[in-house]
Amino acid sequence: MYSLSIPFCAAALTVFLFTASRFFSDSRHLHVDEGDSVSGASGSAPVSQQSPILKEIKEKHRELLPYYTESTKETFLKVQWKERGDGDSDSLTNHGLARTKVKDILDVEESAGTGMIGCVQLSYFKNVDFLGSGYTKAVLKAVSPEGLPVALKSVNDRGTDMKRCLEDFGDVEGCYELVSYKLIKEIMLLQRLQHPNIIKLQGHCQGRDWGSGVTAALELGSPLQMIQLLQSPWEERFRICLSLVRLLHYLSISPLGSVALLDFQPRQFVVVSGELKLTDLDDASTEERSCRTDSDCTLTFPHRNFTFPCAAGGICEGLNEKTNLYNAYRYFFTYLLPHRAPPTLQHLIDNIMNSTGELRSGINETLEGFEEILQMYKSGRYLNNLPPSLLRGYTLVKGKRPVDSVDYRCWPSYNHQGCVLSVHSAREAAHICSSHPQCTSFSVSSQRTWTGRYLASFRSGFRDLIPDVKSALYVKKVCGSEAVA
Which active-site residues does the annotation give?
Answer: 263
Comparing C-alpha atoms, which of 101, 105, 114, 97 is closest to residue 72?
105
Torsion 23-27-28-29 (CA) sign: positive
Sort 61 into a burial class: Cβ within 10 Å, 0-12 / 13-18 / 19+. middle
**Helix, strand, or coil (residue 325):** helix
User: At 34, which helix (H) or strand (E)?
Assistant: helix 8-35
Query: CA–CA distance from 256 to each of 91, 192, 219, 280, 450 (Å)?
Result: 27, 8, 22, 17, 31
CB 144 within 8 A of CB 19: no
CB 256 within 8 A of CB 188: no
Query: CA–CA distance from 373 to each of 277, 331, 338, 347 (Å)?
Result: 21, 20, 12, 10
Comparing C-alpha atoms, which of 155, 154, 178 is closest to residue 166?
178
Beta partners for residue 227, in sequence order: none
The dihedrals phi and psi of 349, each to the nearest 5 degrees, come to -70, -40
